[in-house]
Structures are given as structure tokens and as C-alpha cells.
Chains A and B, each alone.
Chain A
């Protein structure tokens, strides 16, 4: 079965410092991997995804993610954090079980960026 794990419930970063939010996956076949962000009282917003090709994927708001097949990881990164990046971040993997398309989400990681 497809699954993703986000090992950290919360990540704390000082504004201006680089940030990393971790995600590992377990899939059969080639993974389709996604990152979503949820700001307070809002729905989830798509940030970026990896399907194939370049292992470094660039997305919205200056975020990027690195696909690492040997480590089965897809960590979200940003070179310089902003206070406004504080939110809940979800990693997800596409599940095609039965020929139907859905996403399996991780438990989420709360990112707190301090001034």
C-alpha cells in the first residue's frame, strides 16, 4: 500500500534561515508526490509535485522539494523562511489502487517561523 510519513509534528525556524520539512514515502512503482500548505482557517493549497524528470522541483512561494529515490524521501525546502510561511504542511502520494486516482496524505507538519 502507498503511504507517506512526516516524522516531525512541528518545525521551528528563525526568519531568514533555511527551512526543511521532511517527508518519506513507500510506494509500489513510480511515485507521484505532492506538497500542500494549509493556512489557518483555509483549505489545502497545492505547492508543488514530482512526477518524473529533474529531482529538484520548484513550486509556489519560493518553495522547492528534492526527490531522493535511494532514501525514499521528498523533503520540502526554502532557502530563506518568512514569518508568513507559518502554516501546516502536508506531503501526499498518489494511489492508483484499483485503477482509481486518490491521494494519501501524511499527518502534517506545523511550521512556525519566528521573527
Chain B
């Protein structure tokens, strides 16, 4: 398996622009997570999905952030409008819950998208 795939790997944009980050989870996984990592705040869980349904978005910092999962193999995280304080590395991770026959609860992370908002 190719693992979790994220695109783009790097994004540089100007304040006020819309940014869309993409994630393809590992095939067969039923959970997808979006995290943000900064030096100041460390690793933060933004939102997660179970079977394509958003379960908890309490970590989404503001209404400028939105996430969708239209199908089991694709998710997006959108920031509109972007601000310099959104600059961070954004990670996507997926897992299969242990109650499933091959589930392990282990989360597998993508390589991340490094976002810089000027």
C-alpha cells in the first residue's frame, strides 16, 4: 500500500487567498484525521471522520476552516481566507478501528503539507 497521500507537499500563498489541502487515506481505513503542527502549539487534532462522516470538529480553529470527505478515498481541508497565523504543517492520518477484523487502532500519517501564508 502507498500509505496516506497528501498534496501538495508545500504551499505558499498570500493572506486572503483560499487554500485547499488534499488527503487520500489508506484503502479500507474507516477513520480519517486532520492535524496541525506548529512550534508554539505542537500537534493539534482539527477534525476527524468515521465512515466519511465528521464526528468531532471542535479542534477547527475558526469558521475559516472547513473539511469534507465526499468518499472513502478522499478528503479536503480548506482555509478561506487564509491568514499568516495559519502557517503550519498539516497532517492527515487514517486508521481502521480494532473492532474490525483487521483493525489495529494504529494511526498512519501522511508526509504532511507545509503551508506558508505571507
Contacts and interface: CB of A to CB of B under 8 A. Distances in A.
Interface residues of B, number: 23
Interface stretch (A12-20, A43-51, A62-70): A43-51
Interface string B103-118: 0011111111000000
Given A100-B50, A101-B97, A107-B42, A46 B111 contact: no
A42 B43 contact: no
Interface residues of A, number: 20
Contacts of B4: 43
B39 to A, nearest CB: 11
Interface in B46-79: 48, 50, 55-56
Main SS of the interface on chain A? strand
A98 B56 CA distance: 10
Contacts of A36: 109
Nearest to B109: A43
B82 interface: no
Interface of B: 4, 31, 33, 42-43, 45, 48, 50, 55-56, 91, 93, 95, 97-98, 105-112
Q: Nearest 3 pairs between A and B by C-beta?
A: A43-B109, A44-B109, A101-B97
